[in-house]
Structure 1
């Protein structure tokens, strides 16, 4: 896998390290990005995407409230 180098403000790097519970800023940022992407995938799985728009166009049934 290709690597990318990114510069961050030291205060931001420290906050990310504390949030992720790591001692390495690189590990912390990687964990945060992976979590962000996974969270986005879970949200898409729950709410669908633009291709699922037709499901929202129907009125709710009595069971759905």
Structure 2
């Protein structure tokens, strides 16, 4: 896998390390990025399920009084 080098504010990285409970700046930032990607995939999956439910349910029928 290709590697990318970036510069980040040291305070930001230290905070991520503390929150992630990781001792290495590289591991902490990688954990945050992986978590972000996993959350995005879960969100996409929930949206797909909701869309499928909407597609497979009949639209509400209108009574003669409503139409």
Q: Same fold (TM over 0.5)?
A: yes
Change (3 A) 1:8 1:44: same
Tell me the TM-score normalized by structure 1: 0.73
What is the alpha-carbon root mean square deviation over aligned residues? 2.4
Structure 1 residues 10, 42: CA separation in 2 closer, same or farther (over 3 Å shift)? Answer: same
Larger Rg: 2
Per-residue deviation at 1:60?
Answer: 6.0
Q: Extract unaligned runs of 5+ from structure 2.
A: 62-67
* Structure 1 unmatched ranges of 5 or more: none
How far did 1:19 drift? Answer: 1.1
Mapped partners of 1:33, 1:60: distance in 2: 42
Q: Give the drift of 1:59.
A: 4.2
Taking structure 2 as the reference length, the TM-score comes to 0.71
1:16 aligns with 2:43: no
Q: How many residues are paired up?
A: 56
**Number of the residue aligned with 2:34:** 34
| Residues 12 and 60 of structure 1, relative CA distance in 2, 3 Å threshold | farther
